[in-house]
Amino acid sequence: MLSDAAPGKLRIVHGDVLTFKIERAFPGSLKRQWEDDPPNVHIIGNLPFNVSTPLIIKWLENVSCRGGPFVYGRTQMTLTFQKEVAERLTANTGSKQRSRLSVMAQYLCNVQHILTIPGQAFVPKPEVDVGVVHFTPLVQPRIEQPFKLVEKVVQNAFQFRRKYCYRGLGMLFPEVQRVESTGKLLELADVDPTLRPSQLSVSHFKSLCDVYRKMCDEDPHLFAYNFRELKQNKSKTQEKEDDKERDRL
């Protein structure tokens, strides 16, 4: 209906936004150098709440490697999120809303919470208000390390958000070396171990990521260590043993 109403001006693509190749959607003539002003390409979306977080993480990873829609340059995005998610994306250091999303977005982009739209403005009306957030990729990221490494450090730091930061950061290391390696990480990064995760600035995370990268270079097996994965595997093993025990009974 929309394409019939605006022939030649609007092209509607039916597909999954999580898998659609936006980098193929526009002519190459629109491409600009990363250091130039943003290109004449703008992502605007009223995102479904159930895909908004995985989608913005995917696009942030694209920003870090200048792939996807960012092959055209520093493509800007204006997107809607559940109000609480919008507040997390733009939260300042020390605020209650500060989270993994805050750091991941702000180390790569200038992020602004433009406005809040009341739920009653939508049909059907959602149970929550909606925040409109604008992203402009930075010419130079505030942390110059691989996206997956930054994500791992930030994710571990925030997994115990009410505890001191050394608790979550300690999960980056195997149990046998946890105390020693966590102390070394925090000391070399010059980060107070009694800070809460929400009190860590992007500069703090830059130092932590830089030191963790050096530690991974010294120990090639370190980056592959995944506390959550090991915990899940132990749970599955325990479940199998419990099943065998019940069968014997």
The per-residue pLDDT for range 20-54, each reduced to its tens digit, is 898 988 999 999 999 999 999 999 998 888 899 99
Q: What is the pLDDT of residues 50-102, one digit of tens each?
A: 899 999 999 999 999 999 999 999 999 999 999 999 999 999 999 999 999 99
| 156 annotated among ligand-binding-site residues | no
| 16 annotated among ligand-binding-site residues | yes
> For the sheet containing 109-117, what is the strand order?
42-46, 76-82, 130-137, 109-117
Determine what percent of the chain is predicted with pLDDT higher than 70: 89
pLDDT computed for residue 241 by the predictor: 53
pLDDT computed for residue 57 by the predictor: 96
Helices 147-158 and 202-218: crossing angle in degrees, nearest 10, is 110
**Burial code of 35-51, b = ≥16 C-beta within 10 A, e = fewer?**
eeeebebebeeebeeee
148, 112 contact by CB (below 8 A): no
Q: Mean per-residue pLDDT for 231-249?
A: 53
Greatest mean pLDDT among 115-124, 148-157, 231-240 lies in: 148-157
Q: Average per-residue pLDDT in the chain?
A: 90
Q: Mean per-residue pLDDT for 149-153?
A: 98
Q: What is the pLDDT of residues 179-220, one digit of tens each?
A: 999 999 999 999 999 999 999 999 999 999 999 999 999 998
Closest CA to 22 of 7, 44, 47: 44
Instruction: Give me the domains of the chain, ranges plus CATH numbers.
Output: 2-137 (3.40.50.150), 147-237 (1.10.8.100)
Q: How confident is the model at residue 243 (pLDDT cuts 50, 70, 90)?
A: low
pLDDT computed for residue 233 by the predictor: 56
